[in-house]
């Protein structure tokens, strides 16, 4: 029996990938990000991370799983499903 080339990512694995990315962004203070406010994981669509900056404004970043199961920033039109 043939095994699939890439194993599908589970929701637990997606949550771990989002947590790692959020920790990295807060640690490196990318764009003035101070802390993580909320996280929404979605296997079929865009996952969102909401951060708060030092001045109080919110930053919303969207991520999506690519065909390899890696987390990618969903800025390109092909990744938005709205």
The residues that bridge with 72 in the sheet, in sequence order, are 64
> Minimal CA–CA distance to 66: which of 57, 54, 56, 75?
75
Contacts of 51 (CB under 8 A, 6+ apart): 22, 25, 26, 33, 34, 35, 36, 37, 58, 59, 60, 61
- Write down the pTM of the prediction: 0.76
Average pLDDT along the chain: 83
Q: Tell me the pLDDT tens digit for each residue of 66-79.
A: 888 888 888 655 54
Do you know the residue count of the chain?
82
Q: Tell me the pLDDT tens digit for each residue of 49-71.
A: 999 988 988 888 899 888 888 88
């Amino acid at each position: 029996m043939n095994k699939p080339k890439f194993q599908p990512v589970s929701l637990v694995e997606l949550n771990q990938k989002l947590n790692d990315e959020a920790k990295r962004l807060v640690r490196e203070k990318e764009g003035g990000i101070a802390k993580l406010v909320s996280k929404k994981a979605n296997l079929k669509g865009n996952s969102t991370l909401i951060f708060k900056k030092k001045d109080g404004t919110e930053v919303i970043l969207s991520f999506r799983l690519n065909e390899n199961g890696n987390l990618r920033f969903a800025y390109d039109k092909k990744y938005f499903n709205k």
